[in-house]
Amino acid sequence: MVRSLGRSIILLFLILAATTIAAASTGEKEAPDNDGRIVQSLFRFPASKLGPEFEQLLNLWYDEWLYTTNNENGTAIITPDPSGKQHALQSVSIPATTLFRRQCYGAAPIKSPQFTNLYNNLEQRRKEIEFQYIQDPKEEMTMLHTMVKRFYPAFSTVDNHSGTSAAVHLHKKKVVSTEDTIHAKTNLPLDYDSPSKLAFQTLKLSSPDTTDDDDDDDDSPTQQWSWRPAGQFSNRGMSNFLQWRVKFYHTMRTKLQRQLSKETPGFKFSHGRPSGMYWYPPGAVREWHSNYLDLIGNTKEKKTGNEKIYASQTWRMYFIRTVRDEEFDGLLQNLGVGGISADVDDHSAMHIIPGEDEGITLDVLQKAGARPLTKEEKQRQWKDEFAEEYSNSTFAGEEVVDSGEEGTLNRNSVWRLPDKNGYVTFFRLPKLFHCIVSEEVHRYSLGFAFSDDEVQALLKLAKVDFDVYGDGEGYTDEL
């Protein structure tokens, strides 16, 4: 039996080798495992296209996670968490947050040391901390905070600007708040940049007349938000998280799955799951990253058998809600910022760099609603209402990477995918570098991790056109 097994292994090896040689000799650009895979790497459309079954998932998020109320039109009203809001509106001016926010408007070329070393190393360390200390949020937050403070001096201002390229200068912006800004006068309180101020909780009360005697009511779940360096809040769990997750999974795999199977006969979710819930107050940021480690999982620990699951979930889908804040709008008016309106769209965004992702083309970007940065947006890499202007005006007007002439695509340029309230965005990992910025709104996002097959079913349900690879060539699937 052993000898027979050995012959089988050798035969399999020879077949694989012959297949590889044949593919190379015919000049195929796509590997065989691309067959059936979606060609495009980015989609965006109204969440309503996913039908009422997806709306039921959102209602679980609204009612049992964010504790919303409904207006007369039945729309969930999201109110910023008061226990974390004050800290949020001041912490966006601390050095680390200011630094990473400004990087989102003017990134260095994709193959620069900032991306190949600093950003990838930062992402790797963040993941290691999360995997290792996920059961201890306080220690995790302390380590994340310390780690970010160690990284950002690598980008900070230097006295001598000579002998270095503009791309390097772009990553050496002044980040220390020393002037009056929208939130802070001269200097922020010291404890606003300390780990002890990073975590907050929201308590759902049973009624507006709830008294102190109800504080011990086990039916009143708490929902934790934590400040995630360099600068946004994220969920850290709730007392009945397991119960909520069971409800969420059940709704996905019954009502939504049944609807998906009508467009894709026999469809079943494999390991599709919620991947995160985030709150970005005005001025918050998620630095440049590619999520490449999300496809690996915790490889430093004992193998769990989940590695194939992680590797299969190559897509992320985010549902976005954006909410204006009267208090913050008042701060803008006091600062003399004009043009304030009740509009909630395009006051936060995902910025992306096409880079080496072959699924990002000019056509794909435009169909998703992405656009180059405006001149005013590019200036935000040097100054914004959250912190003072860059100290050396010599470089304040420089553009290191342009978006390209009209009708062309510079793959090192920054493109803006403006948030639209109530839309979903799909994008593929791991080649797409992206960052998140919020300028004037509170941005709430509900994320999902999906496989390519699951995304194809969702796109078909939404009647969104996409192409797939087949027999080494792409073809259009008219839905």
Closest CA to 98 of 211, 9, 217, 181: 181
Would 134 be classed as within a structural domain? yes
Is residue 432 a part of any domain in this protein?
A: yes
Report the distance separating Cα 57 and Cα 277, nearest Å. 13
Who's near 375: CB < 8 A, 6+ residues apart? Answer: none
Residue 188 pLDDT: 60
pLDDT on residue 153: 66
- Whether residue 267 lies inside any domain: the answer is no
Q: Which residue has the higher pLDDT, 53 or 65?
A: 53
Alpha carbon distance 89, 86 (integer Å) = 5
> Which residues span the domain enclosing 422?
43-237+278-449
If you average pLDDT over residues 18-36, what whole number do you get?
45
> Is pLDDT of 167 > 50?
no
Distance CA 440, CA 339 (A): 12
User: String of b and e for 93-131 (b: at least 16 CB within 10 Å)?
Assistant: bbbbbbbbbbbbbbbbbbebebbeebbbebbebbbebbe
Domain count, the chain: 1
State the average pLDDT over residues 401-414. Answer: 74
> Distances from the Cα of 331 to the Cαs of 166, 344, 440, in angstroms?
34, 17, 10
Asked if residue 475 belongs to a domain, the reply is no
- DSSP 3-state of 372: strand
Distance, in Å, from the CA atom of 469 to the CA atom of 40, rounded to the nearest integer, reads 10
Q: Is residue 382 domain-resident?
A: yes
Q: How many CB atoms sit inside 10 A of residue 34's CB?
A: 17
Place of tokens 């039916």: 219
What is the C-alpha to C-alpha distance for residues 148 and 94, in angstroms, rounded to an integer? 12
Residue 462 in any domain: the answer is no
Q: Roughly how many angstroms between the first and final C-alpha of the chain, as a whole number?
A: 50
Assess if residue 460 is contained within a domain: no
Residue 258 has what pLDDT? 96
Tokens of 299: 């490889």
Q: In this prediction, what percent of the chain has a pLDDT beyond 90? A: 34
pLDDT per residue as tens digits for the range 248-289: 999 999 999 999 999 999 999 999 999 889 999 999 999 999
Residue 51 domain-assigned (yes or no): yes
DSSP state string for 64-122: III--EE-TTSPEEP---HHHHHHHHHHTTSHHHHHHHHHTTSPPPTTSHIIIIIIHHH
Residue range 361-372: mean pLDDT, rounded? 96
Q: Considering only residues 332 and 437, tell me which one the structure prediction assigns the higher pLDDT.
A: 437
